[in-house]
Chain A
Amino acid sequence: MNYQDEFRDRTVVLGFAARIRELVAGRTVPMTFMEVCGTHTMSIYQYGLRSLLPPQVRLISGPGCPVCVTPNGYVDRAVALCRLPGVTVATFGDMVRVPGSSSSLIEERAKGADVRIVYSPLDAVTLAAKNPDRKVVFLGVGFETTAPTIAGSILAAKQQGLTNYFVLAAHKTIPIPMEVLADDPELQVDGYLCPAHVSVVIGAAAYRFLAEERGVPCVVTGFEPVDVMQGVEMLVRQVVEGKPRVEIQYSRVVKREGNRKAQGVIAEVLTPFDAPWRGIGVIPGSGLRIADAYAEFDAEKAIPVEVEETREHAGCLCGEILKGKVSPFDCPLFGGACTPESPVGACMVSSEGTCAAAYKYGQ
């Protein structure tokens, strides 16, 4: 057992596809399921899973890529910070190519800014410890998956007595926007493939209100093709039975109650706020900023900088794509003015963006 090949087994995948076809046989009303995690989006495209589903089952991509939902204004502030003398910006790789209003971190790096790609916020803490004469700003982007590690990095910096480590926080939480999208009259979401790694932290119980109060089936699903196909089959079954509930397909990793310790670290260091989402706007209580008790680590408060006026990119449909209302192929910029090497919108730049997946793997 190596925990990977078994979940890429062709026979098992095709078995689930056959069961899904049986379950919807004779149904004319289509059912639409939304995945709200970029890794699900990538997996669905990478393995060509849509081609294995019957026409009555439609998969759409939601706002599940943390880079894609980060608004231009955040990138503009990161760009402004990296231009300051004595500032090093450390970030996960996805962020460096995201275009802000007029520049990107990769462009600033080419002009001489100190922009470092790290694999963990603790690497950024180490960078700060080794360079006491520089201010190291880590870009705290991501959902509940990365929030505890970034909150933990602030605790580590505090413990080490560092005064030159900062986080520019733009964390998002996922259940609230799922509720917003479930309420959207233009969208018909018949079920959610709930994210895998986010759910490790927040637990499957976090989606109960969606199933119980709004009647939306939810299945916490893993990322491998077998996981995704089984997740879809479980959603189809719930719709057919008319009994919406929260199920865990990814039971080898996810528990109902989640990871209490990680939740504790988040609650200690971060606090909810009304966060702006690219293409969706401000969603009350959907973000996590640095709590006042840790304000000295908050780059936005501790390092004053003038940020350019935010401009949106004309013609970019990222916002509609993030809400699952249109497909990448409906965007007039897709594949022409907007490609992974010259992206206009964030959905194209992030490796987990819906447009990047559609462009790379085609359908």
Chain B
Amino acid sequence: MNKDLILLGHGSGGKLSHQLLDDLIIPTLSGISRAGQNDAAVVEHGGQRLAFTTDSYVVDPIFFPGGNIGGLAVNGTVNDLAMMGARPLFISVGLIIEEGFSRTELAEVLSSMRGAADAAGVRIVTGDTKVVPRGKADRIFINTSGVGAIEHSFAISGAGARTGDKVIVNGTIGDHGIAVMARREGLELETDILSDCAPLNGLVAEILAEAGEAVHVLRDPTRGGVATTLKEIALQSDKIITLHERALPLNGAVKGVCSILGLDPLYVANEGKLLAVVAPEAAERLLARMKRHPLGHGAAIIGEVGDGGGKVQMETAVGGVRAVEMLAGEQLPRIC
């Protein structure tokens, strides 16, 4: 096999992505260790702690049930900042547009970005636009970078999970990935599955107000889904995370599509979900508070942290136990 080729799987957010980061990108660019990898960097300047992040959006189709690439690009970056416990402040926008793209659609994408920024309370303060010849990009790619202020003294990071902690998710999993996939593949569903694309900074503010230092990890399980994100946390914290299959909130239509296509919702992308790893004494109280928030109605405690090294396991719905690994490449639909 030719090891020199970059494959689509290298962008899946799963194992191949991690290998590319570990073997090439991080060592070449800066030599930071994996353990320090979070959704955003935390930097200090002039006594102020800031979170700084960047992300590129290449979703296909660009318009999907429940949103479009514009709102996604703002919300995704807002969420990456929020996962560090930061208050998102400023965002930059880089547009790479393919020749021949429609101005009407561009206007719709931009208006969605504006709406998302207003909803999240962030300001779009700088940007750049490039147009490339037809065929050199797929309609429109967007990069957003963001800066947020960290206004508390404790650390929230992927390495923070402690034995006994509870794992909370704020609602149903896999909605975004399945909404996009169903639209992309032209699946005709009786009920439209909507993307969960949303800014999570408001919910995070509530979480921090309620639980403060009891919040050890916050992560948004985007590419690679809940399974891959939890595996990252388990590895960074050197702990074992046990999930309870029966506790996982799952929309019936998402479950159905996953069954039909042979996909595991644990590995499907989310864009309005967070995983909070919190001290056990704060878990129930925090859950109740989250449920009162519009983006936390479906919140549930889905697992707990135990002693052990970098593992995720699941107690299955029928009482068996199995390992949960990272997504290996792309999730591919099966033959039969």
Pairs across A and B, CB under 8 Å, 16 listed: A45-B322, A48-B318, A48-B320, A92-B334, A92-B335, A93-B334, A109-B8, A110-B8, A141-B335, A145-B336, A197-B336, A225-B318, A339-B328, A341-B19, A350-B334, A351-B262
CA distance A47 to B336 in the complex (A): 19
Q: Which of A8, A103, A359, A361 contacts B318 (CB 8 A)?
A: A8
Given contacts A119-B261, A142-B336, contact A13 B318 (CB under 8 A): yes
Chain A nearest Cβ from B306, distance in angstroms: 16
CA distance A360 to B266 in the complex (A): 13
Chain A nearest Cβ from B60, distance in angstroms: 13
Which residues of B are found within 8 Å of A340, using beta-carbon distances? Answer: 15, 328-329
A250 at the interface (CB under 8 A from B): no
Which residues of B are found within 8 Å of A67, using beta-carbon distances? Answer: 335
A-B contact number at CB 8 A: 122
CA distance A45 to B316 in the complex (A): 10
Which residues of A are found within 8 Å of B19, using beta-carbon distances? Answer: 341
CA distance A142 to B336 in the complex (A): 8
B185 at the interface (CB under 8 A from A): yes
State whether B334 touches A351 (Cβ < 8 A): yes
Which residues of A are found within 8 Å of B7, using beta-carbon distances? Answer: 106-107, 110
Taking Cβ atoms with an 8 Å cutoff, the residues of A that contact B are 2, 4, 8-10, 13-14, 38-39, 45-52, 66-67, 92-97, 99, 102-104, 106-107, 109-111, 117, 119, 141-143, 145-146, 197, 225-226, 339-342, 350-352, 359-363
Which residues of A are found within 8 Å of B133, using beta-carbon distances? Answer: none
- Annotate B237-275 by CB proximity to A: 1 below 8 A, 0 otherwise: 000000000100000100110010110000000000000
CA distance A287 to B317 in the complex (A): 38
Which residues of B are found within 8 Å of A363, using beta-carbon distances? Answer: 322
State whether B319 touches A10 (Cβ < 8 A): yes
Given contacts A146-B335, A352-B334, contact A48 B322 (CB under 8 A): yes
Which residues of A are found within 8 Å of B330, using beta-carbon distances? Answer: 93
Residue of B nearest to A197 (CB): B336
**Consensus secondary structure, chain B interface:** loop
Residue of A nearest to B260 (CB): A119
- Annotate B304-329 by CB proximity to A: 1 below 8 A, 0 otherwise: 00000000000011111111010011
Interface size on B, residues (CB 8 A): 36
Which residues of A are found within 8 Å of B252, using beta-carbon distances? Answer: 2
- 17 additional A-B pairs beyond A9-B318, A51-B321, beta carbons within 8 Å, are A10-B246, A47-B316, A47-B318, A48-B318, A48-B319, A92-B334, A97-B329, A102-B1, A107-B5, A109-B8, A110-B5, A110-B8, A119-B185, A146-B335, A340-B328, A341-B19, A360-B323
Residue of B nearest to A339 (CB): B328
State whether A66 touches B321 (Cβ < 8 A): no
CA distance A111 to B8 in the complex (A): 12
- Annotate B67-98 by CB proximity to A: 1 below 8 A, 0 otherwise: 00000000000000000000000000000000
Give the residue among B5, B19, B255 with the most A Cβ atoms within 10 A. Answer: B5
CA distance A52 to B185 in the complex (A): 38
B29 at the interface (CB under 8 A from A): no
State whether A10 touches B317 (Cβ < 8 A): yes
Give the residue among B2, B19, B316 with the most A Cβ atoms within 10 A. Answer: B316
CA distance A4 to B262 in the complex (A): 14
State whether A4 touches B255 (Cβ < 8 A): yes
Given contacts A10-B319, A48-B320, A49-B320, contact A99 B1 (CB under 8 A): yes
Given contacts A10-B318, A49-B318, A146-B335, contact A341 B328 (CB under 8 A): yes
Taking Cβ atoms with an 8 Å cutoff, the residues of B that contact A are 1-2, 5-9, 14-16, 19, 185, 246, 252, 255-256, 259, 261-262, 316-323, 325, 328-330, 332-336
Chain B nearest Cβ from A124, distance in angstroms: 13
**Which A-B residue pairs are the 5 nearest by beta carbons?**
A48-B320, A93-B332, A340-B328, A362-B323, A13-B318
Residue of B nearest to A92 (CB): B335
Chain B nearest Cβ from A286, distance in angstroms: 17
State whether A92 touches B1 (Cβ < 8 A): no
Chain A nearest Cβ from B261, distance in angstroms: 7
CA distance A84 to B325 in the complex (A): 37
State whether B5 touches A111 (Cβ < 8 A): yes
CA distance A52 to B317 in the complex (A): 13
Residue of A nearest to B323 (CB): A362
State whether A351 touches B1 (Cβ < 8 A): no
State whether B335 touches A142 (Cβ < 8 A): yes
Chain A nearest Cβ from B263, distance in angstroms: 9
Residue of A nearest to B262 (CB): A351
State whether B261 touches A143 (Cβ < 8 A): no
Q: Which of A99, A142, A341, A352 contacts B9 (CB 8 A)?
A: A341
Residue of A nearest to B319 (CB): A10
State whether A4 touches B259 (Cβ < 8 A): yes
Given contacts A47-B320, A119-B261, A341-B15, contact A143 B336 (CB under 8 A): yes
Given contacts A110-B5, A111-B5, A340-B328, contact A39 B318 (CB under 8 A): no
Which residues of B are found within 8 Å of A9, using beta-carbon distances? Answer: 318
Which residues of B are found within 8 Å of A4, using beta-carbon distances? Answer: 255-256, 259
Chain B nearest Cβ from A257, distance in angstroms: 21
State whether B334 touches A52 (Cβ < 8 A): no
CA distance A2 to B14 in the complex (A): 32
CA distance A47 to B19 in the complex (A): 29
